[in-house]
Amino acid sequence: MADENELDLLRQKKLQELQMKAQQEAAAQEQVKQAEAQKAMLMRQILTPEARERLMNLRMTRPDVVEQVEEQLLMLVRSGRVSQQIDDYTMRQILRKVMPTKREIKIERR
């Protein structure tokens, strides 16, 4: 009987730990969703539809560059440096500066 009580206590403790962990993970996921929604809202406010479309197209091939540009734009907005919407031309200029330079590969046959 004492062994069964100890076993039940251990099961209950383990169950509570698992439930607590699941609640913490759900809360973390909710925070990530809220942050993403806020980021998307800010991007809709500061980018023209053409610039936003350019970023979405680029996200398919270079998601790392898009994340970097979005973070930089959000920092500029939060610091008050961006006063008007960023159009497609400006976005192209930003992307040219941020994109890594392409290396040319030459193959010589001898």
Partners of 86 in beta bridges: 47
Provide the pLDDT for residue 37.
93
Mean pLDDT by 10 residues, the chain (110 residues): 83 93 94 92 92 94 92 90 90 88 80
Provide the pLDDT for residue 7.
87
Query: What residue spans define the domains of the chain?
Result: 1-46, 47-98
Provide the pLDDT for residue 3.
78
Are residues 73 and 40 in contact, defined by beta-carbon separation less than 8 angstroms?
Answer: no
